[in-house]
Amino acid sequence: MEKDKKKQKFIILFWVFLFGSIFGTYYEQILNLFIHYRFHHELVWQLRRGVIYGPISPVYGAGAVLFTLCLADKKRSHLKTFLRGALLGGFFEYLISFLQETFLGTVSWDYHDEFLNINGRTTIPYMIVWGLLALIFVTIVYPAIKKLLSYYPKKFLERLTIILTVLLLCDFIVSWGALVRQMFRLKGMEPVSFVGRFFDEHYGDDVLKKYYTNMKVIEVAK
Q: Shortest CA distance to 54 belongs to which of 167, 145, 153?
A: 167
Look at residue 219 in the predicted model and tell me its pLDDT: 55
Question: Over the stretch 20-40, which tens digit does the pLDDT of each residue have?
Answer: 999 999 998 998 899 888 888
Q: Is the pLDDT of residue 218 over 80?
A: no
Q: What share of the chain is helix, strand, coil (3-state, %, to 5)?
A: 70, 5, 25
CB atoms within 10 A of CB 51: 22
C-alpha to C-alpha distance for 30 and 209, rounded to whole angstroms: 19
Predicted pLDDT of residue 106 = 86
pLDDT of residue 121: 95
pLDDT confidence bin for 136, thresholds 50/70/90: very high
Q: Measured between alpha carbons, how far is 89 from 214 in angstroms, rounded to an integer?
A: 20
Break the chain into its structural domains and give their ranges: 2-217
Look over the chain and give the mean of its residue pLDDT values, rounded to a whole number: 91
Q: Which one, of 55, 61, 59, lies nearest residue 29 by Cα?
A: 55
| CA 133 vs CA 27, 62, 138, 211: distances in Å | 12, 14, 8, 26
Give per-residue pLDDT as tens, 149-197.
Answer: 999 999 999 999 999 999 999 999 999 999 999 989 988 899 999 999 9
How many angstroms from the chain centroid is the CA of residue 206?
22
Contact between 93 and 86 (Cβ < 8 Å): no
Q: How far apart are CA 131 and CA 84, in angstroms?
A: 7
pLDDT for position 56: 95
Q: What is the pLDDT of residue 221?
A: 44
Query: Is 80 exceeded by the pLDDT of residue 3?
Result: no
